[in-house]
Amino acid sequence: MNSIVSAFRSDPSGTAPKQHGAVPMLELNDSNKIPMLAYGLGTANSKYASDDVIKATTTAIKAGFFHLDGAEMYGNETELGKAIAASKIPRSSLFVTTKLDNKPEYVGQVDAVFTQSLKRLNLEYVDLYLIHHPAMAGGDPSRLQSLWRELEAIHASGRAKSIGVSNFLAEDLEALLAGDPKVVPAINQIEFHPYYQRQAVITLCREKNIAVSAYAPLSPVIRVPGGPLHTSGLLPGLAKKYGVNEADVLLRWVIDQGIVAITTSSNEVRVNSYISNIPNFKLTPKEVETIAETGAEAFHRCFFQSNFKEGDTR
């Protein structure tokens, strides 16, 4: 089996991080370092009132989630900014990500759009700015390359320390890179979990020294609880072995492949357990491989399903 695990390369392309009793860091291709466990303010929080999102995010920051992932598309930049202010944690200790909304009319207007994001966040800079989805370029490679040059200009201004992409397939990355960019994307944020392992795009990212971050890593326990990881007893067994929750095992499975894991919760106990548990155990290479093999018995894409035809597992 040509699994992701068997394709390990040096950071940020797959080497499992060393453990030091704290959230591990990953060095990006621009030499900036990113915490490998992030708190996301995505769709999971969109159903909550603004004050509740601010409270939950502030709680996460105080618990030790210093990598914070927001997005213009989900309307959570204002809440993220207020939570950062309420936490009293120094800005220099935080790693803040936001994303350019998936609106075709933004092509040619990215600087102005980004300025509004900074205003909502009440920040002078972000650590990472991402193109949320390649669809905003309408399938036109030259338009995608032009869009990327706008992000390069923001990067050059110092207002985004790193720049990257999100939801890019291998062919999207190839189209962007064909434009001979000055700055290679630092990271590609994608849906990734044992039931959607994305081998083609992850392999290309590793070849190009582009890091990967994973959203929806807990899908096997949240959205597909009856899948083979449970029917086989594998996931409950590993949780019992390490004295952690099943969610912890899934997050560790992502991190142990050199991939940044993004999760969320409004439950204070759960948020604290992630911070206390994740740094203090590590799956064996065989366990990482077995989760991948068992997960590959099922396929479940949880987001952007309408963008793919039936049978398309990219």
Mark the binding-site residues for substrate, compressed into ranges.
Answer: 132
Two structure tokens written together for 166: 């999100």
Calpha distance 236→244 (Å, rounded):
10
Calpha distance 293→298 (Å, rounded):
10
Q: Distances in Å between the alpha carbon of 135 and those of 103, 252, 305?
A: 9, 31, 13
For 285, which DSSP code?
H
The alpha-helical segments, DSSP class H, found in the chain are 50-63, 77-87, 110-121, 141-157, 170-177, 199-207, 219-222, 228-231, 234-242, 246-255, 268-277, 285-295
Cβ atoms of 83 and 58 closer than 8 Å: yes
Calpha distance 310→306 (Å, rounded):
9
Catalytic residue among 39, 48, 74, 274: 74
CA atoms within 13 A of residue 136's CA, in its CB half-sphere: 26
Cβ atoms of 196 and 211 closer than 8 Å: no
CA 62, distance to chain mean position in Å, is 20
Calpha distance 163→186 (Å, rounded):
6
Task: Please indicate whether residue 196 is annotated as part of the active site.
Answer: no
CB neighbours (10 Å) of residue 227? 21
Calpha distance 75→70 (Å, rounded):
8
Two structure tokens written together for 181: 């960019």
Catalytic residues: 74
